[in-house]
Structure 1
Amino acid sequence: MSFVRPLIIAAAALCAPQVVAAQDWSGFYAGGTIGYTNHDARHSFPSVGAPSDDSSPDGAIYGGFVGYGVQNGQLVFGGEIDFEGSNASGSFVNNTGFTSAGRSELNWQGSIRAILGYATSLGSKPTLFYGTLGWAYGDFDFNGGPAGAGTAGGYSDELDGLTVGLGVDARLAAQTSVRFEYRYTDYGTASGDLAPGFPGVAMPVSVEQHAFRVGLRLDF
């Protein structure tokens, strides 16, 4: 049985480089995601005293991302950008007192973010757990007016603000991973009036977003 020990040592030596390679999250990568988003989009009408309300737009998001990572031990540092289209929309009608109605839509959005991750395994799968923090921007349409007149006026605005989230990349193959991610974004407050239906009537809208994504990542 004296030959068994050298065979075990040799087998372990052959297997070790494959495990290390599978755990390597360094370099360029890209991928695509689909997901769901919902917003707190609170419309107010300070110049006319109509009731405030939330149009709560929600819907699909879909797009892609590119990034670069550097691994040091089990820590992974990097940066990532993404861009997404969306069909998220929502509306409200408030019949309290001096009535109001509103509608909001997200057309597209993107972000530039830092990534800090921890490389480990989940079951038998090499896995990267990460947090992300950065700046997001998005293009929105807002409409409003009295409840009886519907949303006869409105404006478009490009908003930006802080985005922060958590995610997981789990290896499916040597260079392919499945991604799950949640992100919160504070887009701040849009400003504009309700021309042409109600010119001069201001309708600021404060927007916060919650987004859930699933996707595929390809390492190069």
Structure 2
Amino acid sequence: MFRWKSFLFATTAAIALPAAAMAQDWSGLYGGVTLGYGMGNADHSFSNGAPPGNSEPRGLLAGGFLGYAVQNGNMVWGGEIDIETSNFEGSYINTTGTTSQGFVTGNWQGSLRGVLGFAGNMGGNPALYYATAGWAVGEFDFLGGPSVPVPPGGGYSERLNGWTAGIGMDFEIAPNTALRAEYRYTDFGTANGTLAPAFPAITMPVDVNQHALRVGVRFNF
């Protein structure tokens, strides 16, 4: 019995020691850059009863992030801010007669989020698995009107405020350097402006949301 207990203790220690040796301190100030792709929905409606439509914007996202983290054992928490330029855009045309069309273009977007993570490893390298959620902001241009001419002669710009949430992983590839992979869903809320100058009496509310995949590099300072 003593030999089996000794064997189990030695085996457990042999497994635990490499894990302890690979422990990573993710606390402190950090920042990095990301490149991503957004896929979303923009639901257009019209105050005059014209047919609604969905412009389904798509496009690249590029930017950077800055954050601060605190670690206690394997648990990591903190806050993060990011800002991105965007060519997130889409359009629709209802071809059932002279009915409606809509365009949306994202100019930039950003967020301020809380982060809660677990410090572990993957394939022998330290890794931080995290969930994140918080406030989101984005500036968009909207166009709308009857299906001809293209593009329509009325529209507006608006800065939207909403929420975002997602999951991700930072995977260490060198001291103080990690690769990042992240998915986030963002609901920017609903824009509501008139289609001036062509149709100043008509409003076109647009509800905008986005699914985004990002990859990047994180640097611990």
Q: TM-score, with normalisation over the residues of structure 1?
A: 0.89
The match for 1:40 is 41
Contact 1:49/1:98 (<8 A) preserved: no
CA deviations 1:29-76 (Å, max 9, x no partner) are 00000010011101001x221111111111000000000111111000
Question: What SS does the aligned partner of 2:149 have?
Answer: coil
CA deviations 1:162-210 (Å, max 9, x no partner) are 1000000000011000000000011110000100111111100001111
Contact 1:188/1:207 (<8 A) preserved: yes
The change in CA–CA distance for 1:183 and 1:16 in structure 2 (over 3 A counts) is: closer
The change in CA–CA distance for 1:16 and 1:159 in structure 2 (over 3 A counts) is: closer
How far the C-alpha of 1:211 sits from its partner, in A, is: 0.8
The 5-angstrom pairing of residues 19-98 of structure 1 reads 19-20=22-23, 23-45=24-46, 47-96=47-96
How far the C-alpha of 1:96 sits from its partner, in A, is: 3.1
Whole-angstrom distance in 1 between the partners of 2:72 and 2:169: 18
The match for 2:105 is 105
The change in CA–CA distance for 1:145 and 1:15 in structure 2 (over 3 A counts) is: closer
Whole-angstrom distance in 1 between the partners of 2:19 and 2:41: 49
Whole-angstrom distance in 1 between the partners of 2:58 and 2:97: 27
How far the C-alpha of 1:95 sits from its partner, in A, is: 2.3
CA deviations 1:112-150 (Å, max 9, x no partner) are 000000000001110000000100000000000100123
Q: TM-score, with normalisation over the residues of structure 2?
A: 0.89
Whole-angstrom distance in 1 between the partners of 2:78 and 2:194: 41
The match for 2:156 is 155
How far the C-alpha of 1:19 sits from its partner, in A, is: 3.0
Whole-angstrom distance in 2 between the partners of 1:16 and 1:164: 30
The match for 2:196 is 195
Whole-angstrom distance in 1 between the partners of 2:98 and 2:190: 23
Whole-angstrom distance in 1 between the partners of 2:187 and 2:111: 12
Question: What SS does the aligned partner of 1:50 have?
Answer: coil
The alignment-based identity, stated in percent, is: 55
Whole-angstrom distance in 2 between the partners of 1:129 and 1:19: 15
Whole-angstrom distance in 2 between the partners of 1:42 and 1:182: 22
The one-letter code of the counterpart of 1:60 is L
The match for 2:214 is 213
The match for 1:140 is 140
CA deviations 1:80-101 (Å, max 9, x no partner) are 0000000111111012366101
Whole-angstrom distance in 2 between the partners of 1:16 and 1:39: 40
The one-letter code of the counterpart of 1:161 is G
Equivalenced residue count is 204
Contact 1:35/1:213 (<8 A) preserved: yes
Question: What SS does the aligned partner of 1:204 have?
Answer: strand
Whole-angstrom distance in 2 between the partners of 1:37 and 1:146: 27
Whole-angstrom distance in 2 between the partners of 1:26 and 1:177: 14
Contact 1:51/1:96 (<8 A) preserved: no
How far the C-alpha of 1:17 sits from its partner, in A, is: 8.0
Is 1:118–2:121 an aligned residue pair? no
